[in-house]
């Protein structure tokens, strides 16, 4: 089961040009300029396309992979869909909740799921990413470190610097905002030996079993295939990874 090239216009949802959180185009060019503008050095990490789920395509992906970002069609029933082996963290699992950086996507954040996926990717790889001191991301993560997912969402919605950066990234895409189709972003990360799916539309992180820094990309393939099978009548899927640059 192959994934289309990132030349396919993909974003989070249709939006007006005046919206505070318009959709982001799902391309490495857009996400790289976005994450670098927020305070991640260009020589530190980089987003890359994943062109297929077969072994040959996965072998082409630069390692080490810190996070995987999937953009996929978001039909109404997707919010209630269940995928194999998923286990939503419950509020009582306080220790695990504190270990996984998660932001809830509240209604006022509109089409910010691309930015939330980026924050999930970097926020859960903070020990491997060298943020510029006092940059937008550095201040954001320091300010929200002790907040719960909803409080982080409220903080993000009010963060004018982040909103301006998001708008610039949205305008950097090659696709007109009015032409973008309804899509949604989720992020996959590994934390303490476990694979987590981070979807701001869900109530919390979803556990998908054992994982390691070496096997992250391979471990996420069955989950992605299950998502694709659940939406069989669409080809609008795009997969990217956030990889650390070897120095």
Question: What are the catalytic residues?
Answer: 113, 184
d(CA 39, CA 136): 6
Q: What is the 3-state secondary structure (H, E, C) of 88-156?
A: ECCCCCHHHHHHCCCCCCCHHHCCCHHHHHHHHHHHCCHHHCCCCCCCHHHHHHHHHCCCCHHHHHHHH
Matching residue, tokens 């939503």:
88
Burial class (CB in 10 A: 0-12, 13-18, 19+), 91: exposed
Any residues with CB less than 8 A from the CB of 62 and at least 6 apart, and which?
Answer: 46, 48, 241, 243, 245
d(CA 131, CA 138): 6
């Amino acid at each position: 089961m192959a994934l289309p090239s990132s030349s396919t216009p993909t974003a989070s949802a249709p939006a007006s040009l005046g919206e505070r959180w318009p959709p982001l185009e799902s391309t490495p060019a857009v996400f790289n300029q976005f994450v670098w503008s927020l305070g991640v050095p260009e020589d530190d990490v980089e987003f890359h396309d994943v062109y297929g789920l077969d072994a040959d395509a996965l072998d082409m992906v630069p390692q080490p992979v810190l996070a995987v970002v999937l953009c996929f069609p978001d039909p109404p029933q997707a919010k209630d869909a269940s995928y194999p082996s998923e286990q939503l963290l419950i509020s009582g699992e306080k220790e695990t909740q504190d270990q996984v950086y998660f932001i809830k996507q509240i209604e006022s954040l509109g089409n910010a799921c691309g930015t939330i996926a980026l924050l999930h990717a970097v926020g859960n790889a903070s020990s491997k990413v060298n943020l510029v001191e006092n940059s937008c991301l550095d201040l954001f993560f320091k300010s929200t470190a002790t907040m719960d997912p909803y409080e982080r969402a409220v903080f993000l919605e009010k963060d004018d610097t982040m909103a301006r950066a998001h708008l610039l990234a949205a305008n950097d895409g090659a696709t007109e905002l009015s032409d973008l189709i309804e899509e949604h972003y989720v992020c996959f990360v590994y934390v303490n030996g476990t694979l987590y799916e981070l979807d701001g539309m869900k109530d919390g992180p979803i556990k998908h079993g054992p994982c390691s820094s070496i096997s992250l990309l391979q471990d996420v393939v069955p989950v992605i295939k299950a998502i694709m099978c659940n939406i069989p009548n669409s080809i609008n899927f795009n997969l990217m990874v956030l990889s650390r640059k070897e120095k």
